[in-house]
Amino acid sequence: MKATIVLLPGDGIGPEVTASALAVLRIIAETFAHDFMFVEHLIGGAAIDATGLPLPETTRAACLSADAVLLGAVGGPRWSDPNARPEQGLLQLRAALGVFANLRPVHVHPRTAALSPVKADRLVGVDLLFVRELTGGSYFGRRSRDADSASDECRYTVVEIERVLRRAFELARARRGRVTSIDKANVLETSRLWRETAIRVAADYPDVTLEHQLVDSMAMLMLSQPARYDVLVTENLFGDILTDEAAVLAGSLGLLPSASLGEGRRGLYEPIHGSAPDIAGKGSANPIGSILSAALLLRHSLGLANEAAAIERAVHTVLDTRELTRDLGGNANTHDITDAIVATLTRHAAARAA
Ligand code: NAD
Ligand code: IPM
Ligand code: MN
């Protein structure tokens, strides 16, 4: 198939891990005979340096006409002007693309489980899918600031809550049929609206079990009983925080991918980690979160489920057998892991052809 994929490498380790994902997508195109066109654009700090804006109009326009967008990471200590922050570019892009549902799957590979501070027996069978609301809440509310006070409005409409909940219920149907809706309904009005909406929407999905959990206790339960959960759906800020915590189950933040989806097929794909200024430029970043994001891109935006599964299988093989990156206690660098995944994909393709 033919597809246009916009690459937004961004800042810090963003370009390093995006190069890895690109190498993987090129091998997929070659071995499965697809015609992918890759177009690179600026976002974040790199875009501020070049144009003064974190999301230049050319980047926005390219993303809006692409089949999918693969982003590395934005941000870093060099860009601290509150009027031109790299992160604003990402938020503007999410809003422009209308990608209200951010899927963050969390799997625990048996080998990396040993690296988690959570006891290995608690990690058996962990298979979570976070559905984080991505275009509302305090990220997009009105802000105010004066000399001695500041505010960030958290606002949600029923429409915004309902569409992301429906996405969670639909995804749960194709999994183990359980949705945990996470809120702070004992304190926040937005959370009370969220919970009421969840109860109402659940009536349309009698085959799915809905449970509510307050976000503070969820933060604890996710580490003490992670295997109990299936699909977890929550508002923007809670989802941001809980998914970095969930990375502890997997063994490293560098492993987790994400897919941001709206109503159509077009999506924005990015690892959940940031630009990691502490390791940027060292060639030691773990590229797996970005590579698995490329797999999600193939599955959700291009409908290429077999190709996505091929990448996931290759990552699994490499996690099983190879020296790992530093975040996973090994000594391999970004290139070593990328080469190993590309070589595994090539080997698997040759085996298929034989
Ligand atoms: P971070 O995710 O960049 O890093 C947190 C820690 O995890 C660091 O020690 C880092 O070295 C490590 N880490 C992250 N990804 C890794 C990888 N692939 N391999 C190995 N180690 C990895 O979070 P931070 O330091 O709080 O944020 C740095 C900057 O990134 C900030 O400007 C923040 O706004 C931005 N950020 C951007 C995104 C994004 O673009 N989607 C996401 C999160 C943070
Ligand atoms: C993420 C990041 C972003 C977020 C920042 C960089 C705006 O932390 O993608 O998880 O908070 O959504
Ligand atoms: Mn985050």
pLDDT in tens, 28-73: 999 999 999 999 999 999 999 999 999 999 999 999 999 999 999 9
Last-in-domain residue among 224, 250, 276: 250
Q: Decide if 320 is catalytic.
A: no
Residues 58-96 as b/e (b if ≥16 CB within 10 A, e otherwise) read ebbebbeebbbbbbbbbbbeebeeeeebbbbbbbbbbbb
Tell me the CA–centroid distance for residue 272 and ligand 3, in Å. Answer: 6
**pTM of this prediction exceeds 0.95:** yes
Tell me the CA–centroid distance for residue 51 and ligand 1, in Å. Answer: 24
Residue 220: beta bridge partners?
none
- Residue pLDDT, tens place only, 251-266: 999 999 999 999 999 9
Residue to mutate, 87, 132, 140, 238, ligand 2, most ligand atoms under 8 Å from C-beta? 87
Instruction: Give nearest CA residue, ligand 1 atom 6.
Output: 276
Same domain (yes/no): 311, 263: yes
Helix (H/G/I), strand (E/B), else coil: 210: strand
Backbone angles phi, psi at 331, to 5 degrees: -125, 5
Most distant CA pair in the chain, distance: 70
Q: Return the ∠ at Cα 106 (arms to 276 and 196), rounded to 5°.
A: 110
pLDDT given for residue 82 in this prediction: 86
For residue 240, give its domain range.
116-250
8 Å CB contact between 100 and 85 = no
| Closest ligand 2 atom to 90 CA | 7
> For residue 164, what are its two tokens?
């992301």
Same domain (yes/no): 80, 162: no
Residue 103: beta bridge partners?
131, 259
Same domain (yes/no): 3, 51: yes
Task: Give the span between the Cα atoms of 72 and 74, in whole angstroms.
Answer: 7
Same domain (yes/no): 328, 284: yes
**Residue carrying structure tokens 């961004």:** 10
Q: Decide if 216 is catalytic.
A: yes
Same domain (yes/no): 202, 271: no
Same domain (yes/no): 56, 163: no
Same domain (yes/no): 132, 218: yes
Last-in-domain residue among 235, 250, 265: 250
Q: Decide if 148 is catalytic.
A: no
Q: Enumerate residue ranges in the chain where pLDDT < 70.
A: none
Sequence-distant (6+) residues with CB within 8 A of 331 are 323
8 Å CB contact between 268 and 134 = no
Count of structural domains within the chain: 2
Write the CATH number for 40: 3.40.718.10
pLDDT given for residue 165 in this prediction: 99
Same domain (yes/no): 240, 309: no
Same domain (yes/no): 163, 245: yes
Same domain (yes/no): 279, 226: no
Give the length of the chain. 354
Last-in-domain residue among 225, 250, 275: 250
Angle between helices 334-353 and 288-300 (to 10 degrees): 40
Backbone angles phi, psi at 347, to 5 degrees: -65, -45
pLDDT given for residue 354 in this prediction: 87
